[in-house]
Amino acid sequence: MIRVLLADDEDMIRTALASLLALEDDLEVVAECRDGAEAVDEANRLEPDVCVLDLEMPFLDGVEVAERLRHTVATRCVVVTRHARPGVLRRALKSGVQGFVPKSRPASDVAQVIREVAAGRRYVDPEIAADALSAERSPLTDRELDVLRAAAGHATSSDIAKALHLSEGTVRNHFSSILQKLNRSTRYQAVDLARERGWI
């Protein structure tokens, strides 16, 4: 039996998927979570075989959940999303996500992806993979992307410095570099561009 944790802040989608997966003989849904923080707590407590994580959730997104769990529990993660931007796929794979699936796929397909991932294989939706290969790469360093990702939540430079264990001066230097590379005049314009291109 493959033990599955589901995390999605949209109740209808989460409960519908849970009901459909419960019809599969080899799958057991052991937890349903409404946000990323709850998913981390429950995954550490229950140690499911596979976590199916919505990309966009409150507190922590699906990729951030996978990144945290990679260091604490032997579970494998599948991210599902409506907006499968290529940059997000690259970030997900780098964070240890083993499966990446659009929400447009039927529950039977998600069930099969769960089986593949539980068996130790990796699955990326073919269309998402093709888009990722042809997409423009970010000119920003990983650390600059971390800073920009933190800024997307309207955090102050001080907040970003504390969260990323940097000095405020270093954060300001990163923003200066980001704005120059992206040819933007404010951090919010830079965030919008990075989101549009799928870099964060």
155 and 178, same domain (yes or no) = yes
pLDDT of residue 50: 96
169 and 94, same domain (yes or no) = no
What CA–CA distance (Å, rounded) separates 165 from 45?
Answer: 28
Three-class DSSP category at 26: coil
pLDDT of residue 126: 85
Phi-psi region of 165 (alpha: psi -120 to 50; beta: other; left: phi over 0): left
Answer whether 176's CB lies under 8 Å from 151's CB.
Answer: no
Based on the number of CB atoms within 10 Å of its own CB, is 183 exposed (0-12), middle (13-18) or buried (19 or more)?
exposed
CATH (domain of 119): 3.40.50.2300
Task: Select from 133, 168, 185 the last residue of a domain.
Answer: 133
The conformation of residue 122, written as its DSSP 8-state character, comes to: -
Bridge partner residues of 28 (DSSP): 3
Host domain of residue 173: 142-197
Number of domains in the chain: 2
16 and 68, same domain (yes or no) = yes
172 and 117, same domain (yes or no) = no
Based on the number of CB atoms within 10 Å of its own CB, is 9 exposed (0-12), middle (13-18) or buried (19 or more)?
middle
125 and 41, same domain (yes or no) = yes
pTM of the model: 0.70
110 and 157, same domain (yes or no) = no
25 and 122, same domain (yes or no) = yes
22 and 116, same domain (yes or no) = yes
pLDDT of residue 11: 92
* Digitized pLDDT (tens) for each residue of the chain, 200 residues in all: 999 999 999 999 999 999 999 999 999 999 999 999 999 999 999 999 999 999 988 888 999 999 999 989 989 999 998 766 667 777 788 888 999 998 888 888 999 999 999 999 999 888 777 766 656 678 889 899 989 888 887 788 898 998 888 999 999 999 999 999 999 999 989 998 888 777 87
pLDDT of residue 130: 74
34 and 74, same domain (yes or no) = yes
Amino acid at 58: P
Cα 176 from chain centroid (whole Å): 27
pLDDT of residue 28: 95
